[in-house]
Chains A and B, each alone.
Chain A
Amino acid sequence: MNNLKKTKNSIRWVIALKEEAQVILDYYKLKPINEKTIYPIYKNEEETHWLIICGIGRNNAAASTAYLYAYSNASNYTSWINIGIAGSCKGNYGDLYLVDKISTYQKRKSTYPSTLPKATLPKMHLFTSDIPISDYSTYELIDMEGSAFFDIASKLTPKEFICLMKVISDGPEDNIKEITKSKISNLMKENLLKIIDVISYYERLSEEEFQIIDKPKLFNKIKSKWHFSATQSYRLENLLRRIEIFCNKKDIEKIIKNCETSNSVINVLNTKIKNNLVNWSKF
């Protein structure tokens, strides 16, 4: 659990059943972690992808999402994915859908996940139920985990970093009792290319966010040379962000080279900004 790598892109999967997850485990080369955990957890070698098998139901989905967050040290630029099978009155057996509205019996208010822009996949309204439903007539999509996953994930990360995808496995024409483990695996396999495509968007999103919030290049180097208080560190970070846009690393190092204290480093950097005449033709 300790010594986790700080990775540029960061994906966390929450999936109810091993059969739903298998194709993801194989494609992203995720291996079980070497520790005993409450829920089975898998990760890839780079530690960019982590996956938890949560089991069926809202309680499991909520608990495992929070558990994976803590266990894998997920960041605020981590993308969270829930994928699995669902019943439907509307879509075709085997088709993959994005979810952009979630309702439950328990909560009066619905929730509204974002979906990736310009998605070619169709979207549907998900109803998360605590019991299997055989009357499909009222709902577009039915599952047993989605709402709880979204409620917890949206406390951990902005909703633009959360994605729910459902593959239709049962409906008025496809009896829920006929779902088998191998049918589930096949449904997921048949949609793998579409899933990978969606995930590449979330990998990119996470990486871009990382680039934006990552510390400026010289921050750690400067901090190791002078002693900065917490407030000074914050000012240093902001000044460096601004200066690195128009001044290269070498020049910055040169102007602070003779500073004796952290205060004088900040003063020198401040003066650099104060004297900057923005050259708008460059931007």
Chain B
Amino acid sequence: MIETIYVEDAIQNHPKTKFILNKFKKSRIISINKYGEIFNKRNQNFRIQKANPCLILAHKKDNFVLPAPEGFGLGSSKNFYFSHMYNCIYDCRYCFLQGMYSSANYIIFVNFEDFDISIEKIIENNLDSKVTFFSGYDCDSLALENVTGFAKHILPIFRKYPQIEIEFRTKSIQKEPFLSVKPMPNVILAYSLMPELMSNSLDNKAPSISKRIRVISELASKGWKIGLRFDPLIHGKNWKKLYQELLENIYKNISLDCLHSVSFGTLRFPKRMFKDIFKLYPNEPLFTSPLSLNNKMISYDIEIEEEMTSYCKNLSLRYINEDQIFKCSI
């Protein structure tokens, strides 16, 4: 339940604003001038806000689509990302959003039409390149789909350009925007996964791994392309057994023909971000892990990283081809 919704004056009459507010009839609506008045203030406690976040409906002015950071893509020559939302309804303890914004409130940018224009412009300018778009870099791309309808809105653009890929990276179990339309081979539904035991402690408020796997299996059986993102890989007692069980469970339960790609990423925090997150949640089990400063990043030692990556990769190779496996380095 969202108790308070702040709405920028400029978009009070935007159809998407009305559509969203209609879903929260009991919430208190407060008009604001600019979302920065709430979101960018320094003196806020992220952890307390996260327990009861407010929603902010705002207008995004620019930077609708940006080049993806190095290491984010999956082999395309050009990678871009866009975020119709800042922050996430889940609360994963390793999430970089915790160290990124001073506020835990969610922002939804309601002017989807401006995202459309920017996306199409980039597509038109890059018709000769292999391009992939990533939805939801500053949020989970589908977690609030039932409120925003963003994926449903954006899919028709990509139906027009079958050579351009789009990846929705998520931990959610939202199926609707995909079950109601014909599968599109250029759309990748990419799920972040880790062994259930670890997820129970780290992926707060997110759907359980077993629920995620059930949805993956259902969408794959309908013909949607699936991405599996084992990112971050988490170390701990029995990690080999836990990852073996997880990987085998997935590979045996989904149609492998629909598997677009599998990627593995290690647990890494920029030093400053780690400091902020540790300050917010100093008593979290994640921080009892053997993490230390390596090359300006807080991470497991390289031996642990390499052992985990190659173990999971080798296991995966029993089911899929090498060219389907990628390394996430961000």
B129 CB within 8 Å of chain A: no
B41 within 8 A of A: yes
A270 to B242, CA, bound (A): 26
Residues from chain A with a CB closer than 8 A to the CB of B210 are none
Question: How many residues on chain A are close to B (CB under 8 Å)?
Answer: 40
A112 near B6: Cβ-Cβ < 8 Å: yes
Query: Which residue of chain B lies nearest to A278 when distances are taken between CB atoms in the complex?
Result: B236
A100 touches which one: B30, B198, B200, B278 (CB < 8 A)? B30
With A205-B48, A212-B283, A241-B283 known as contacts, the answer to whether A100 contacts B288 (CB < 8 A) is no
**Would you call B71 an interface residue if the criterion is a C-beta within 8 Å of the partner chain's C-beta atoms?**
no
Which of A118, A158, A275 neighbours the largest number of chain B CB atoms within 10 Å of its CB? Answer: A158
Flag if B37 contacts A159 (CB, 8 Å).
Answer: no
A245 touches B288 (CB 8 A): yes
Which residue of chain B has the shortest Cβ distance to A244 in the bound complex? Answer: B283
* Chain B residues whose CB sits within 8 angstroms of the CB of A282 once the complex forms: 285
B201 in contact with A110 (CB, 8 Å): no
Interface centre among A115, A209, A276, A278 (most CB of B within 10 A): A278
Chain B residues whose C-beta falls within 8 Å of the C-beta of A158 in the assembled complex: 43-45, 48
User: A110 near B289 (CB under 8 angstroms)?
Assistant: no
Residues B264-280 near A (CB distance < 8 A): 278
Instruction: Check B211 for interface membership: any CB of A closer than 8 A.
Output: no
Asked, given contacts A112-B6, A277-B237, A278-B288, whether A160 binds B30 with beta carbons under 8 Å apart, the answer is no
Residues of chain A within 8 A (CB-CB) of B41 are 154, 159
Per a CB cutoff under 8 Å, which of A100, A157, A160, A274 touches B292?
A274
Complex Cα distance A35/B51, Å? 41
Which residues on A are within 8 Å of B, measured CB to CB? 100-101, 109-112, 114-115, 117-118, 123, 125, 154-155, 157-161, 205, 209, 212, 238, 241-243, 245-246, 270, 273-283
A–B complex contacts, Cβ < 8 Å, 23 sampled: A100-B28, A110-B32, A110-B37, A112-B30, A112-B32, A117-B51, A118-B52, A154-B41, A154-B43, A158-B43, A159-B41, A159-B43, A241-B283, A243-B288, A246-B288, A273-B288, A274-B290, A276-B290, A277-B236, A278-B285, A278-B288, A280-B195, A281-B237
